[in-house]
Structure 1
Amino acid sequence: MGRLDLSHNFLTGFEKQVWPSGSLQYLNLENNFLQGTLHQSFCDMINLEFLILAQNNFSGSIPDCLGNSNSFISILDLRMNNFHGEIPRFLPTGLQYLGLYGNQLRGQVSRSLVNCTSLEALDLGNNKLNDTFPIWLEKLPNLQVLILKSNLFHGPIGDLESEFPFPELRIFDLSCNGFTGTLPSNFFKNFRGMMDLDEENTEITQASNRTHRDYLYHVSLVIKGNEYDMGITSIMTSVDLSSNRFEGDIPNSIGNLSSLVLLNLSHNSFLGRIPAEFAQLQQLESLDLSMNRLIGEIPGLLSSLTFLEVLNLSYNHLAGRIPIGKQFNTFPNDSCCGNPDLCGFPLSKECGNNNESPLEHDDDDDSYFMSGFTWEAVVIGYGCGMIFGLLIGGLMFLFEKPKWYVNFAEDIAQHIAANKRTRQKKRRGLRMN
C-alpha cells in the first residue's frame, strides 16, 4: 500500500501497525483529534514522500530524525498543532513544501533550509520565532511562497546580496513582526515571479511531478482584510509588510511588480508620497496604505486600476482632491478618512469651487496672503468702517445739515401732523355719540 488518507475524521489515536512502514509513500492524517508527541515510527517510513499531519493536537518537539539523510519527504505539513522547541537543525534536502504555521516554535529559522534547493513554499507564520530576516533564503531558486507573519522577527531587512534574489517569489508575507528601518530601494527590483505573469506561468509546481497530483499547498493569507487558509491551485501574487515599524519612502520599484494582486503596507511609519508608479499595477485588487505618515496628493493615475476592489488610505497626512472616476467612485467613506486635508467623494468634505488642491501654490505670494485673510480680519474691517462712518456723519450734521436730510425731516413731520389730526377727529365723533 503506497497511500493512506484518513483526513477529516475523529481519530484520537493510532497504532504503529496501522500502516506498512516500508512501502507507504503518502500519509494524510489532517484534521483529526490526534495528540501527543510524534512517534519514532514516522521516521521508520523510509519511502515516505508526503507527511500531512495538519490541524491536530500534536505536541512536543519535531523529531530530528525526519531530516535524516535517507529521507525522501518532499511535503511536510505540520500546520496548526502545538509543536514547540526549535525547527529541526536538519531537514530533508528534497523538501518542496514546509508548513509549520500555527505552532509554538521558538528560536531561529533553521539554516539547513539553504540546502533545500527544491523548496517552493515555506510557511512559518504564527509561531514565536525570534530572529532577524533570513536574507540567505534569497538564494533558493524555486522559492515561490515565503510567509513569516506573526512572529518575533526584528531588525532591518538589509540589502540583498544575490544578483537575482528571490527570482520566483510570488507570496511575500512579513506582517505582524518587529521589522524596522527602511526598505532598500532595489529590494523588489528582481522579483521576477511577480512581473508579467501569463496564464502558462501561474501554475505552481506543487510536487505534482512526483506521486500524488491531488495535494495542494496550503497557506494562510489575509485577502482584502480577511484571513483564509487556502489550498493554492495557481499562485496569487501578494506582498504584505503590514504591522511592522518600517519607515522612509515606499520603494518605487514596487511599481514594477505588474502582476501583483494584493499589496498591504499598513500600520508602519512610511513617509513621503504614494509612488506614481503604483499606476502600473494593473492587476492590483487590494491596496492598503493606511496608518502611515504619507503626504501629498493621491496620484490621479490610480483611477486607472480597473481591478481595484479594496482601497484603504485612511489615517495618513494626504491632501488635495481625491481622484474621481472608475473604481474611485465605488469606495466607501472610511477608505480615505483620517486625512484632514483631503476633500471630495467619498468624503463628506467638499473641495469648493477651486479645483486646485491646498498644496499646489504653497510658495505663491498671493496664496500666502490669502491664507492669512481669515474671518477675524473681516470683522475688524467692518468694525473700523462703522466707527469711521459714524464719526464723519456726526461732523457733517454738526456744521451743516445736508439738503436730503432737511427734505426727509420735513416729510416725516408732515406725516406725523396728518396722523395727529385724524386721531383728533375720531375722538370728537365718539364724544358726540
Structure 2
Amino acid sequence: MGLITQPYQLLICLLPLLFYSQCSPILCSHHQSSALLQFKQLFSFQNHSSFACEISRPKMMSWKEDADCCSWDGITCDSATGHVIGLDLSCSWLHGNIPSNSSLSLLPRLRKLNLAFNDFNYSKISSGFTDQFPSLTLLNLSFSNFMGSIPASLGNNITQLTYLDLSNNSFTGHIPPSFSNLQQLRHLDLWDNNFVGKIPASLGNNITQLAYLDLSYNNFSGHIPSSFSNLQQLLWLNLEDNNFVGKIPDMFTNLTQLSFLGLAYNELIGSIPSSIFELLNLTEIYLSFSNFSGSVELYDFAKLKNLKFLSLSNISLSVSTKLTVNSSFPNLSELSLPACNISEFPDILKTQHHLEWLDLSRNQIRGRIPSWMWDIGVHTLLVLDLSRNFLTSIDHLPWKNLESLGLDSNLLQGSLPDLPPHMVQFSISNNSLTGEIPSSFCNLSSIQYLDLSNNSLSGQIPHCLGNSTLFTLDLRMNNFQGSIPQTYAKGCNLAYLRLNGNHLEGPLPPSLTNCVKLQFLNVGNNNLSGKFQNVLETQHFKSWI
C-alpha cells in the first residue's frame, strides 16, 4: 500500500508549487520599468496640455519605482512574458520634448503607442523612431503639438500598422512613398496639418484595407487619385479644404460601404458624378465651395434614404429645389444650401420635421416666409440662417429650441420678433425695422451675440443688456435715445460694444470698467458728455472711438 500511495503523496506535495508557478503574475523586467521612469522624467504635468480632452489625468504621476510597471496607469503587458506591449498616455497632461534617443527604444515589443492630446512642444519624429517598434499596430500622435516631416522610413519598419492617427499637429512635407508598404492599414488620419504635394496613387493601389481615410485641412494638390476606387472597404473619405483640382474621378461605383463623403473647399470642376447618388449607405455629404458646372436636382439625392447631412453651398451649380410628384426625401438633420441661386423655399422642407440646422443664406428668396415653414423642425431646429435674401416680413418664431438665427441683410419691416428663450446668437442687421427692443429680450439667459445694427429702431436700450451674458452687442446706426446702461457687473463678458450712430446722451458708464475683456468700443456720433478717461485707461482696447 505504501508503495502505491507514495507517488500520489508526492504529487499532492508538489501541487501548490505547480499552481503557483502557472498562476502567479509575470512581472515586467527592471530595464523596462527603468525605461518608463526615464521617459517620465522628460515631462512636467500641466492640465492645459490636455485641454481638448473631456476627461484627463496625469497618468504618469502614479508610477512608482517599487511597483510592478505592468500595474501602472496606461501600461499593458503581455501576460505570458511580462513585456510591455501597450503604452496609452493620451490625455495625460504631458508637456515637454521627446528626444530622438528616448528611452522608449527599450520597449521593442510595443504594439500600441498612444500619445494623443498632450503638448510635446514641437517635437519631431526622428528617422529612427519607427525602427524602435517593429511590432507596432497602433500609433496615435494626434493633438500633441508635433512638427516636421514624416520619416521616409516609416512605412518600411512598421508594416503591421493598422491604425495611424497624426491629426491636428504641425506636420509638413509629402506623404512618404513608403506608406505603400502599410498594407494592413485600416485607419489613416492626417487631418489638420501642413502636408503638401500630390496624393500617391499607391495609397489606393496598395492600402486596400482602408476603412477610414481623412486628409482634410492640409495643402495637398493635384488630382484626386482614381486609384481610390480600389478602397472597397472605405466607410469614411474626407478630402476637404485642400487644393485638389480637376474633375472628381468616377470612383464611387466600388465604394458601396461609404457613409461619409467630404470634398468641400477645393478647386474641383465638372459635374457631380452620378455614381454618388447610388451610395445608399451615405449619411453625410459635403460638396461646398467648389467650381462645379451644370446643374443638380435636389431630388437626385432622394435615393439616399440614410442621408442626414447635406451641404451644397457655394458650388456654382444651379440647384433645382422642386420635387417630382409622389417623390420622398430622406429625413435630414442638416441642410446647407447657401449661395445656390435658390429663389424660393425648397419643396423638400415640407417633409422635414427633424431638422437641426438649415442654412439658406445668400440666395434670391423673396417675400414673406410661408406659413408652412412654421412646421419645419418645431422642436428640433437649433440653427436657422436666412440672411442675405429678399425677405420682407417675419410674423413669429415658432422654434422653441432655436439657438442661432440669422436674418441680416434682407428687406424686413415692422418690429423685432420675440426670441426663443435659449437664443445664443441673433443677427437682424441691415433691414428696415422700427420700434423698440422688446422687454422679452431681458429673458435671454444664454445670449452671447446680438446684432441689431443698421435699422431704424428707437427707444431706450434696456438696462438688462448691460448685465447679461453678451460677448458682442452691436446696436449702431439706429435711433436709440437715453443713456448707455449703467449696470455692467463684475465678471462682465462683453468684448465688442458698438453703439455709434444713435442719439445717446450722458456719460460713458463707469461700470464698463468691470468689462475687463472689452477690446472694441465705438460710441461715436452720439450726444455723450463727461470724461471718458477713467473708463478708457483701465481697458486694453484694440480699437475704440
TM over 0.5: yes
Identify the residue that residue 293 of structure 1 maps to in structure 2: 341
**1:243-392 correspondence runs (5 A):** 243-251=289-297, 252-276=299-323, 280-295=328-343, 297-318=344-365, 322=370, 323-327=372-376, 335-340=385-390
Identify the residue that residue 125 of structure 2 maps to in structure 1: 38
Identify the residue that residue 102 of structure 2 maps to in structure 1: 16
SS at match of 1:68: helix
Identify the residue that residue 47 of structure 1 maps to in structure 2: 135
Matches of 1:48 and 1:82, distance apart in 2: 23
**1:396-411 correspondence runs (5 A):** none
Matches of 1:132 and 1:342, distance apart in 2: 45
Shift of 1:33: 2.3
CA contact (8 A) 2:289 2:313 kept: yes
For normalisation by structure 1, the TM-score amounts to 0.63
Q: Does 1:187 align with 2:275?
A: yes
Q: Is the alpha carbon distance of 1:332 and 1:146 closer, same or farther for their aligned partners in structure 2, counting shifts above 3 Å? A: closer
Identify the residue that residue 116 of structure 1 maps to in structure 2: 207
CA contact (8 A) 1:319 1:343 kept: no
SS at match of 2:222: coil
Q: Give structure 1 stretches of 5+ with no counterpart.
A: 195-236, 351-433
Q: Is the alpha carbon distance of 1:78 and 1:326 closer, same or farther for their aligned partners in structure 2, counting shifts above 3 Å? A: same
Q: Is the alpha carbon distance of 1:21 and 1:275 closer, same or farther for their aligned partners in structure 2, counting shifts above 3 Å? A: farther
CA contact (8 A) 1:282 1:307 kept: no
CA contact (8 A) 1:165 1:191 kept: no
Matches of 2:248 and 2:327, distance apart in 1: 26
**Structure of greater relative contact order (alpha carbons < 8 Å, 6+ residues apart):** 1
Count matched residues: 304
Identify the residue that residue 81 of structure 1 maps to in structure 2: 169
Matches of 1:4 and 1:337, distance apart in 2: 50
Matches of 1:38 and 1:301, distance apart in 2: 51
For normalisation by structure 2, the TM-score amounts to 0.51
Q: 2:191 aligns with which of 78, 101, 122?
A: 101
In proportion to residue count, which structure has more helix? 1
Amino acid at match of 1:7: S
Identify the residue that residue 61 of structure 1 maps to in structure 2: 149
CA contact (8 A) 1:279 1:305 kept: no
Identify the residue that residue 428 of structure 1 maps to in structure 2: none
Shift of 1:125: 1.1
After superposition, the CA RMSD in angstroms is 2.9
Shift of 1:305: 1.5
Shift of 1:64: 2.3
Larger radius of gyration, structure 1 or 2? 1
Q: Deviations over 1:69-108 (max 9, x none)?
A: 7610011111122211101113201111111111111101
Matches of 2:236 and 2:105, distance apart in 1: 32
CA contact (8 A) 1:12 1:32 kept: no
Q: 1:3 aligns with which of 71, 86, 89?
A: 86
Identity, % of aligned positions = 27
CA contact (8 A) 2:137 2:158 kept: no
Amino acid at match of 2:226: I
CA contact (8 A) 1:101 1:127 kept: yes
SS at match of 2:228: helix
Shift of 1:48: 0.3
Amino acid at match of 1:43: D
Q: Give structure 2 stretches of 5+ with no counterpart.
A: 1-83, 397-406, 414-545
Shift of 1:341: 7.4
Shift of 1:147: 1.0
Q: Is the alpha carbon distance of 1:52 and 1:187 closer, same or farther for their aligned partners in structure 2, counting shifts above 3 Å? A: same
Amino acid at match of 1:33: D
Amino acid at match of 1:148: L
Matches of 2:110 and 2:383, distance apart in 1: 57
Identify the residue that residue 167 of structure 1 maps to in structure 2: 256
**1:98-247 correspondence runs (5 A):** 98-114=188-204, 115-158=206-249, 160=250, 164-184=253-273, 186-194=274-282, 237-247=283-293
Shift of 1:328: 6.1
Shift of 1:4: 0.5
Q: Deviations over 1:123-167 (max 9, x none)?
A: 111111112223321221111111111111122224x156x3321
SS at match of 1:2: strand
Shift of 1:55: 1.5
Matches of 2:314 and 2:233, distance apart in 1: 30
Matches of 1:183 and 1:309, distance apart in 2: 26
Q: Deviations over 1:236-264 (max 9, x none)?
A: x2111112222322244322111111111
Matches of 1:333 and 1:119, distance apart in 2: 35
CA contact (8 A) 1:61 1:84 kept: yes
Identify the residue that residue 33 of structure 2 maps to in structure 1: none
Q: Is the alpha carbon distance of 1:19 and 1:285 closer, same or farther for their aligned partners in structure 2, counting shifts above 3 Å? A: same
Matches of 1:172 and 1:146, distance apart in 2: 5
CA contact (8 A) 1:250 1:274 kept: no
